[in-house]
Amino acid sequence: MTFEVNFDGLVGPTHQFSGLSEGNLASLASRGRVSDPRAAALQGLSKMRRLMRLGLKQAVLPPHERPDVETLRRLGFPGSDAAVVEAAARADPLLLANASSASSMWTANAATVSPSADCADGRVHLTPANLAAKLHRSIEAGFTTRALRTIFADAGRFVVHDPVPAGGAMGDEGAANHMRLAPGHDAPGVEVFVYGRSAFESGEGGRRFAPRQAKEASQAVARLHGLDPSRALFLRQARAAVDAGAFHNDVVAVANGRLLLAHELAFEDGAAAFEAIARACPFEIGFAIARETQVPLAEAVASYLFNSQLVARPGAGGAMSLILPENVKGCAASLAFAEDLAASGGPIDELVFVDLRESMWNGGGPACLRLRVPLTAGELRALGGRVVLDEALLQRLEEWVRRRYRDRLSAADLGDPLLLEESRAALDELTALLDLGSIYSFQQR
Ligand code: SUG
């Protein structure tokens, strides 16, 4: 028995809107908006409950400590922790915003995961993303590696690699640019890596936005995981998609089992890319492709239609649910496409809408918030900590959020040393709830 376990990122107490992600239209449009971290965290937990009620295994990854005092120290702000935060707020509020982002909630960017069925040594391989393209995200790699090594600690079953080297244009954005097609979670699959460009190419003038994922980083991950080269495919993201705001491939495509759901303009090679995927799969697969005439790319990016979670409900004979953001309801063409899909007699027979507005305003939909990890029953039992949710733990987490999180945060609040204190107190309590030990640096001093 193999399960799809979704590891969602718990939204951290400093969730806010600083417009940090060039190329991510929602992030830029939300700059300066007042955030509600408490609502953001509860919206995330509510999505987790929906997935659990569909019969899926649901787990969490802990938020990172923010503001990240260690990073601010490396940037030259001295003194006590409170002094560091205050000095950064005075000298460079944008740097402080970068060091305060709660972006670790988007765990589709935490790592790339290959299940044991795909890997030469029969273990589950995880490579934390270096997230080199954005300062506020690049500082996630260290703690993500630590958290994954705490949870996937059993070396007989799991390998957590180091992130691939950053620098130059060697960006790796993790599972958001990775899809897996397979006859089942337990069967060997075909892993599709989607990159924006080579790290070493030049002559990229005229682009609106720079792509984040390097081909060489994707290839390194496939090598590290010991994938069969005949079952790993590397496809280039369409420049038109990146320029339209698809900063990750999961904004325009999602796969599950034998089904790929995508926009026709997702890949640079157009129809040839879909043919290459079909050829690479030694099993039958189905495509649900939205044509530009049906759902224009700009609308797909605005609705986040393809940033849905596509999941097979356990015990439902392969029937799948599509977990969509509420935004889709406001976009007629996207909604019609999804409704047609669910009525077509294909594997998707249910649409589930979730309200994730706080995350969505930063460009994070249902699929961004989760890292999919297919695990056998034995692997599931071997996880460290207490991160797989049941209703009781979910309720404890909701109660913790209600008690510990602010419901209002603006840029000016980030310089408040009390926010750092409150966040640490919240995270300290969380490590006990999740039985993670003292994983945060502030707990180790
Ligand atoms: O990296 N937004 C994230 C959203 C990540 C979405 N993930 C996937 N598509 N898988 C990003 O652009 C915005 C933060 C800010 O602007 O404050 C941000 O980082």
- Which residue's CA is minimally distant from atom 5 of ligand 1? 364
**Residue 233, C-beta contacts closer than 8 angstroms, at least 6 positions apart:** 190, 191, 192, 193, 276, 277, 280
Other beta carbons within 10 angstroms of residue 229's beta carbon come to 9
Annotate 154-194 with DSSP letters as a single string.
-TTTEEEPPPPP-STT----GGGGEEEE-SSTTS--EEEEE
Locus of tokens 């640079």: 268
What is residue 398's three-state secondary structure? helix
Q: Measure 103 CA to ligand 1 centroid, in angstroms.
A: 6
| Closest atom of ligand 1 relative to the 31 alpha carbon | 16
Helices vs. strands in the chain: H and E counts, helices first: 17, 15
pTM of the model: 0.98
Residue 60, classified by CB atoms within 10 Å of its CB into exposed (0-12), middle (13-18) or buried (19+), is buried
Q: Is 368 a known active-site residue?
A: yes
Locus of tokens 């495919």: 233
CB of 304 shorter than 6 A to ligand 1: no
Residue 105, classified by CB atoms within 10 Å of its CB into exposed (0-12), middle (13-18) or buried (19+), is buried
Amino acid at 133: A
Q: What total number of domains does the chain contain?
A: 1
pLDDT at 413: 97
pLDDT at 202: 83
Longest dimension (CA), the chain: 63
Q: What span, in angstroms and rounded, lies between the C-alpha atoms of 122 and 430? A: 33
CB of 331 shorter than 6 A to ligand 1: no
Residue 350: its H or E element: strand 348-354
Cross-strand partners of 247: none
CB of 364 shorter than 6 A to ligand 1: yes
Q: Is 119 a known active-site residue?
A: no
CB of 100 shorter than 6 A to ligand 1: no
- CATH number of the domain encompassing residue 180: 3.75.10.20
Task: State both tokens at 430.
Answer: 């969380």
Q: Encode the chain (445 residues) as per-residue pLDDT tens digits.
A: 999 999 999 999 999 999 999 999 999 999 999 999 999 999 999 999 999 999 999 999 999 999 999 999 999 999 999 999 999 999 999 999 999 999 999 999 999 999 999 999 999 999 999 999 999 999 999 999 999 999 999 999 999 999 999 999 999 999 999 999 999 999 999 999 999 999 999 866 788 999 999 999 999 999 999 999 999 999 999 999 999 999 999 999 999 999 999 999 999 999 999 999 999 999 999 999 999 999 999 999 999 999 999 999 999 999 999 999 999 999 999 999 999 999 999 999 999 999 999 999 999 999 999 999 999 999 999 999 999 999 999 999 999 999 999 999 999 999 999 999 999 999 999 999 999 999 999 999 8
pLDDT at 445: 86
- Which residue's CA is minimally distant from atom 1 of ligand 1? 21
Q: What span, in angstroms and rounded, lies between the C-alpha atoms of 346 and 341? A: 7
Cross-strand partners of 237: 267
Helix-, strand-, coil-residue percentages of the chain, each rounded to 5: 40, 20, 40
Other beta carbons within 10 angstroms of residue 360's beta carbon come to 22
Which of 136, 225, 248, 263 is catalytic? The answer is 248
Full residue range of the structural domain in which residue 332 is found: 2-444
